Structure 1
Amino acid sequence: MKHNTLIFLVSFFALQLACRPAFEPIDFGHDACAHCKMTIIDKRYAAELITPKGRAYKFDDIVCLLQYNAANPPANGTRFLVTNYSDSNHPFTDAQKAIYLHSESFKTPMNGQCAAFTDEKTAIPHKDNLEQRLLKWEDLTRLNP
Protein backbone atom coordinates (compact mmCIF):
# COMPACT_ATOMS: atom_id res chain seq x y z
CA MET A 1 0.00 0.00 0.00
CA LYS A 2 2.81 2.42 0.90
CA HIS A 3 4.46 1.66 -2.43
CA ASN A 4 1.30 2.70 -4.33
CA THR A 5 1.02 5.90 -2.31
CA LEU A 6 4.64 6.79 -3.05
CA ILE A 7 4.14 6.17 -6.78
CA PHE A 8 1.00 8.32 -6.72
CA LEU A 9 2.73 11.21 -4.95
CA VAL A 10 5.76 11.15 -7.23
CA SER A 11 3.49 11.04 -10.30
CA PHE A 12 1.32 13.85 -8.97
CA PHE A 13 4.25 16.19 -8.36
CA ALA A 14 5.86 15.32 -11.69
CA LEU A 15 2.62 16.23 -13.47
CA GLN A 16 2.36 19.48 -11.51
CA LEU A 17 5.84 20.50 -12.61
CA ALA A 18 5.16 19.50 -16.21
CA CYS A 19 1.95 21.55 -16.32
CA ARG A 20 3.37 24.79 -14.92
CA PRO A 21 2.84 27.70 -17.28
CA ALA A 22 6.10 28.30 -19.08
CA PHE A 23 7.57 31.15 -21.06
CA GLU A 24 7.10 30.71 -24.79
CA PRO A 25 9.86 32.45 -26.79
CA ILE A 26 8.72 35.11 -29.22
CA ASP A 27 9.55 34.47 -32.86
CA PHE A 28 10.56 38.02 -33.72
CA GLY A 29 9.55 39.00 -37.24
CA HIS A 30 6.84 36.30 -37.33
CA ASP A 31 4.67 36.36 -34.18
CA ALA A 32 1.87 38.92 -34.02
CA CYS A 33 0.96 41.10 -31.05
CA ALA A 34 -2.12 39.75 -29.23
CA HIS A 35 -3.49 43.28 -28.88
CA CYS A 36 -2.67 45.31 -32.00
CA LYS A 37 -1.96 42.35 -34.34
CA MET A 38 1.26 43.93 -35.65
CA THR A 39 4.29 41.70 -36.19
CA ILE A 40 6.61 41.76 -33.19
CA ILE A 41 9.99 43.00 -34.37
CA ASP A 42 11.69 45.20 -31.76
CA LYS A 43 13.17 43.04 -28.97
CA ARG A 44 13.70 46.04 -26.67
CA TYR A 45 10.00 46.54 -25.92
CA ALA A 46 8.40 43.08 -26.21
CA ALA A 47 6.22 41.60 -23.47
CA GLU A 48 4.40 38.36 -22.74
CA LEU A 49 1.46 37.32 -20.59
CA ILE A 50 1.15 33.68 -19.51
CA THR A 51 -2.19 32.53 -18.11
CA PRO A 52 -2.42 30.06 -15.22
CA LYS A 53 -3.40 27.41 -17.77
CA GLY A 54 -0.20 28.04 -19.75
CA ARG A 55 -1.50 30.06 -22.70
CA ALA A 56 1.01 32.68 -23.86
CA TYR A 57 -0.02 36.05 -25.28
CA LYS A 58 2.76 38.05 -26.92
CA PHE A 59 2.98 41.82 -27.30
CA ASP A 60 5.14 44.20 -29.33
CA ASP A 61 4.91 47.04 -26.79
CA ILE A 62 4.47 47.17 -23.02
CA VAL A 63 1.50 49.49 -23.60
CA CYS A 64 -0.19 46.81 -25.73
CA LEU A 65 0.11 44.48 -22.73
CA LEU A 66 -1.42 47.13 -20.44
CA GLN A 67 -4.27 47.86 -22.86
CA TYR A 68 -4.94 44.15 -23.31
CA ASN A 69 -5.10 43.75 -19.50
CA ALA A 70 -7.51 46.67 -19.22
CA ALA A 71 -9.87 45.00 -21.72
CA ASN A 72 -9.29 41.45 -20.42
CA PRO A 73 -8.67 41.45 -16.67
CA PRO A 74 -6.08 38.74 -15.94
CA ALA A 75 -6.83 35.77 -13.70
CA ASN A 76 -4.96 35.22 -10.44
CA GLY A 77 -1.69 33.48 -11.18
CA THR A 78 -1.13 35.19 -14.53
CA ARG A 79 2.55 35.88 -15.22
CA PHE A 80 3.76 39.03 -16.93
CA LEU A 81 7.16 39.20 -18.60
CA VAL A 82 8.95 42.11 -20.28
CA THR A 83 12.28 42.38 -22.02
CA ASN A 84 15.21 44.07 -20.33
CA TYR A 85 15.93 47.18 -22.40
CA SER A 86 19.50 47.61 -21.14
CA ASP A 87 20.76 44.10 -21.98
CA SER A 88 21.76 43.66 -25.63
CA ASN A 89 20.27 40.14 -25.59
CA HIS A 90 17.00 41.59 -24.22
CA PRO A 91 16.16 38.66 -21.93
CA PHE A 92 12.70 38.50 -20.40
CA THR A 93 12.19 39.42 -16.75
CA ASP A 94 9.24 39.44 -14.34
CA ALA A 95 7.19 42.54 -15.23
CA GLN A 96 5.90 42.95 -11.69
CA LYS A 97 9.44 43.19 -10.32
CA ALA A 98 10.90 45.24 -13.19
CA ILE A 99 11.64 48.95 -13.09
CA TYR A 100 10.32 51.20 -15.87
CA LEU A 101 11.06 54.51 -17.48
CA HIS A 102 8.46 56.44 -19.46
CA SER A 103 9.93 58.95 -21.91
CA GLU A 104 9.45 60.28 -25.42
CA SER A 105 13.04 59.14 -26.02
CA PHE A 106 11.81 55.53 -26.25
CA LYS A 107 10.48 55.04 -29.77
CA THR A 108 8.32 52.00 -29.11
CA PRO A 109 6.26 50.20 -31.77
CA MET A 110 2.88 51.52 -30.56
CA ASN A 111 4.20 54.79 -29.14
CA GLY A 112 3.91 53.55 -25.55
CA GLN A 113 7.24 55.18 -24.71
CA CYS A 114 8.02 52.73 -21.87
CA ALA A 115 11.14 50.67 -21.37
CA ALA A 116 11.66 47.95 -18.77
CA PHE A 117 14.77 47.21 -16.76
CA THR A 118 15.59 44.25 -14.53
CA ASP A 119 16.40 46.45 -11.54
CA GLU A 120 17.15 49.98 -10.44
CA LYS A 121 20.89 49.52 -10.98
CA THR A 122 20.43 48.97 -14.72
CA ALA A 123 17.80 51.72 -15.03
CA ILE A 124 19.67 54.50 -13.19
CA PRO A 125 22.04 55.46 -16.05
CA HIS A 126 19.05 55.90 -18.37
CA LYS A 127 17.03 57.68 -15.68
CA ASP A 128 19.78 60.20 -15.03
CA ASN A 129 20.29 60.82 -18.73
CA LEU A 130 16.56 61.28 -19.41
CA GLU A 131 15.84 63.10 -16.14
CA GLN A 132 12.86 60.84 -15.51
CA ARG A 133 11.66 59.09 -12.37
CA LEU A 134 11.72 55.32 -12.01
CA LEU A 135 8.35 53.56 -12.18
CA LYS A 136 7.19 50.23 -10.80
CA TRP A 137 4.53 47.89 -12.24
CA GLU A 138 1.82 49.52 -10.09
CA ASP A 139 2.77 52.97 -11.43
CA LEU A 140 2.71 51.71 -14.98
CA THR A 141 -0.76 50.20 -14.63
CA ARG A 142 -2.05 53.60 -13.44
CA LEU A 143 -0.84 55.35 -16.61
CA ASN A 144 -3.59 55.74 -19.15
CA PRO A 145 -1.97 54.38 -22.31
Structure 2
Amino acid sequence: MQTLKHYLALTIFVLLVSCNVSPKPIDYGNDGCHFCKMTIVDKLHAAEIVTQKGKVYKFDATECMINFLDEFDTSEIELYLSNNYSEPEALIDVTQATFLISKNVPSPMGAFLSAFKNREEAKKVQSEKEGTLYTWQELLTHFKD
Protein backbone atom coordinates (compact mmCIF):
# COMPACT_ATOMS: atom_id res chain seq x y z
CA MET A 1 0.00 0.00 0.00
CA GLN A 2 2.83 2.38 0.87
CA THR A 3 4.45 1.74 -2.54
CA LEU A 4 1.17 2.53 -4.29
CA LYS A 5 0.92 5.86 -2.44
CA HIS A 6 4.48 6.76 -3.45
CA TYR A 7 3.76 5.79 -7.05
CA LEU A 8 0.59 7.92 -7.14
CA ALA A 9 2.37 10.88 -5.55
CA LEU A 10 5.23 10.60 -8.04
CA THR A 11 2.79 10.33 -10.96
CA ILE A 12 0.89 13.42 -9.86
CA PHE A 13 4.15 15.34 -9.38
CA VAL A 14 5.39 14.41 -12.87
CA LEU A 15 2.07 15.44 -14.43
CA LEU A 16 2.10 18.79 -12.66
CA VAL A 17 5.70 19.54 -13.62
CA SER A 18 5.32 18.38 -17.23
CA CYS A 19 2.22 20.52 -17.81
CA ASN A 20 3.71 23.70 -16.39
CA VAL A 21 2.49 26.55 -18.59
CA SER A 22 5.06 29.27 -17.94
CA PRO A 23 7.85 31.12 -19.72
CA LYS A 24 11.32 29.62 -19.85
CA PRO A 25 14.45 31.76 -19.56
CA ILE A 26 16.12 32.48 -22.88
CA ASP A 27 19.74 31.32 -22.97
CA TYR A 28 21.17 34.25 -24.94
CA GLY A 29 24.02 33.22 -27.22
CA ASN A 30 22.89 29.56 -27.21
CA ASP A 31 19.14 29.29 -27.90
CA GLY A 32 18.07 29.49 -31.54
CA CYS A 33 15.09 31.26 -33.05
CA HIS A 34 12.35 28.76 -33.86
CA PHE A 35 11.40 30.74 -36.98
CA CYS A 36 14.62 31.98 -38.63
CA LYS A 37 17.08 29.66 -36.84
CA MET A 38 19.45 32.51 -35.88
CA THR A 39 21.06 32.39 -32.44
CA ILE A 40 19.22 34.63 -29.97
CA VAL A 41 21.65 37.27 -28.70
CA ASP A 42 19.66 40.53 -28.46
CA LYS A 43 18.34 40.95 -24.90
CA LEU A 44 16.02 43.81 -25.93
CA HIS A 45 14.01 42.18 -28.70
CA ALA A 46 13.65 38.42 -28.09
CA ALA A 47 10.21 36.82 -27.84
CA GLU A 48 8.57 33.61 -26.71
CA ILE A 49 5.35 31.65 -27.16
CA VAL A 50 4.08 29.16 -24.57
CA THR A 51 1.37 26.72 -25.61
CA GLN A 52 -1.48 25.50 -23.43
CA LYS A 53 0.49 22.26 -22.99
CA GLY A 54 3.58 24.15 -21.83
CA LYS A 55 5.71 23.85 -24.99
CA VAL A 56 7.94 26.89 -25.44
CA TYR A 57 8.99 28.43 -28.77
CA LYS A 58 11.73 31.07 -28.62
CA PHE A 59 12.41 33.82 -31.16
CA ASP A 60 15.21 36.32 -31.72
CA ALA A 61 12.71 39.10 -32.44
CA THR A 62 9.01 39.84 -32.05
CA GLU A 63 8.71 39.98 -35.85
CA CYS A 64 9.87 36.34 -36.06
CA MET A 65 7.18 35.39 -33.54
CA ILE A 66 4.55 37.21 -35.62
CA ASN A 67 5.70 35.48 -38.82
CA PHE A 68 5.63 32.10 -37.03
CA LEU A 69 1.93 32.65 -36.25
CA ASP A 70 1.13 32.20 -39.96
CA GLU A 71 2.16 28.54 -39.72
CA PHE A 72 0.85 27.66 -36.25
CA ASP A 73 -2.57 26.93 -34.74
CA THR A 74 -2.90 30.03 -32.56
CA SER A 75 -5.76 28.48 -30.57
CA GLU A 76 -3.08 26.37 -28.84
CA ILE A 77 -1.18 29.43 -27.55
CA GLU A 78 -1.47 30.37 -23.89
CA LEU A 79 1.18 33.13 -23.66
CA TYR A 80 2.68 35.58 -26.13
CA LEU A 81 5.77 37.25 -24.66
CA SER A 82 8.40 39.76 -25.78
CA ASN A 83 11.38 41.36 -24.09
CA ASN A 84 10.63 44.70 -22.48
CA TYR A 85 12.89 47.20 -24.26
CA SER A 86 13.20 49.24 -21.05
CA GLU A 87 14.24 46.20 -18.97
CA PRO A 88 16.51 43.86 -20.96
CA GLU A 89 15.75 40.12 -20.67
CA ALA A 90 12.41 40.74 -18.89
CA LEU A 91 9.54 39.06 -20.75
CA ILE A 92 6.19 40.87 -20.88
CA ASP A 93 2.72 39.88 -22.09
CA VAL A 94 2.44 41.27 -25.61
CA THR A 95 -1.34 41.49 -25.41
CA GLN A 96 -0.87 44.19 -22.74
CA ALA A 97 2.25 45.79 -24.27
CA THR A 98 2.78 48.84 -26.45
CA PHE A 99 5.03 48.51 -29.49
CA LEU A 100 7.21 51.07 -31.20
CA ILE A 101 8.39 50.87 -34.78
CA SER A 102 11.20 53.39 -35.16
CA LYS A 103 13.95 53.47 -37.81
CA ASN A 104 16.16 54.79 -34.98
CA VAL A 105 15.83 51.60 -32.89
CA PRO A 106 17.15 48.60 -34.85
CA SER A 107 15.91 45.09 -34.10
CA PRO A 108 17.53 41.77 -35.12
CA MET A 109 15.41 41.09 -38.21
CA GLY A 110 15.15 44.66 -39.49
CA ALA A 111 11.56 45.51 -38.56
CA PHE A 112 12.74 48.22 -36.10
CA LEU A 113 10.18 46.80 -33.65
CA SER A 114 10.43 47.11 -29.85
CA ALA A 115 8.01 46.13 -27.06
CA PHE A 116 7.28 48.14 -23.93
CA LYS A 117 5.47 47.12 -20.75
CA ASN A 118 3.36 50.26 -20.82
CA ARG A 119 2.45 53.12 -23.10
CA GLU A 120 4.29 55.72 -21.00
CA GLU A 121 7.65 53.95 -21.48
CA ALA A 122 6.97 53.63 -25.21
CA LYS A 123 6.02 57.31 -25.53
CA LYS A 124 9.23 58.36 -23.77
CA VAL A 125 11.39 56.42 -26.23
CA GLN A 126 9.20 57.59 -29.12
CA SER A 127 9.81 61.23 -28.10
CA GLU A 128 13.58 60.60 -28.35
CA LYS A 129 13.69 58.18 -31.31
CA GLU A 130 10.50 59.02 -33.27
CA GLY A 131 8.35 56.28 -34.80
CA THR A 132 4.82 54.91 -34.50
CA LEU A 133 3.13 53.23 -31.52
CA TYR A 134 0.94 50.11 -31.82
CA THR A 135 -1.11 47.83 -29.61
CA TRP A 136 -0.68 44.07 -30.17
CA GLN A 137 -3.78 43.88 -32.38
CA GLU A 138 -2.74 46.95 -34.38
CA LEU A 139 0.71 45.43 -34.83
CA LEU A 140 -0.70 42.14 -36.13
CA THR A 141 -2.79 44.11 -38.65
CA HIS A 142 0.25 46.19 -39.63
CA PHE A 143 2.30 43.04 -40.36
CA LYS A 144 -0.49 41.50 -42.45
CA ASP A 145 -0.65 44.60 -44.70
TM range (shorter): 0.7 to 0.9
Q: Normalising by structure 2, report the TM-score.
A: 0.82
TM-superposed deviation, 1:36 = 0.0
Structure with a larger share of its residues in strand? 2
Matches within 5 A, 1:88-127: 89-127=88-126
Q: Which residue of 2 aligns with 1:134?
A: 133
Structure with a larger share of its residues in helix? 2
In the alignment, structure 1 residue 34 sits paired with structure 2 residue 67: no
In the alignment, structure 1 residue 86 sits paired with structure 2 residue 80: no
* CA distance in 1: counterparts of 2:104 and 2:73, whole angstroms: 30
* CA distance in 2: counterparts of 1:108 and 1:133, whole angstroms: 15
* CA distance in 2: counterparts of 1:130 and 1:92, whole angstroms: 22
Q: Which residue of 2 aligns with 1:72?
A: 72
SS, match of residue 22 in structure 2: coil
2:18·2:54 contact (CA, 8 Å) conserved in 1? Answer: no
Q: Normalising by structure 1, report the TM-score.
A: 0.82
Structure 2: where are the runs of 5+ without partners?
1-11
TM-superposed deviation, 1:65 = 0.3
* CA distance in 1: counterparts of 2:77 and 2:68, whole angstroms: 16
- Percent identity between the two aligned chains: 33
Structure 1: where are the runs of 5+ without partners?
1-11
* CA distance in 2: counterparts of 1:70 and 1:54, whole angstroms: 20
Query: Cα gap change, 1:36/1:18 in structure 2, threshold over 3 Å: closer, same or farther?
Result: closer
* CA distance in 2: counterparts of 1:81 and 1:91, whole angstroms: 9
TM-superposed deviation, 1:71 = 2.0
Give the count of matched residue pairs: 134
Query: Cα gap change, 1:132/1:39 in structure 2, threshold over 3 Å: closer, same or farther?
Result: same
- Deviation digits for residues 77-118 of structure 1, max 9, x if unmatched? 52101111012x431110110110011112111112100000
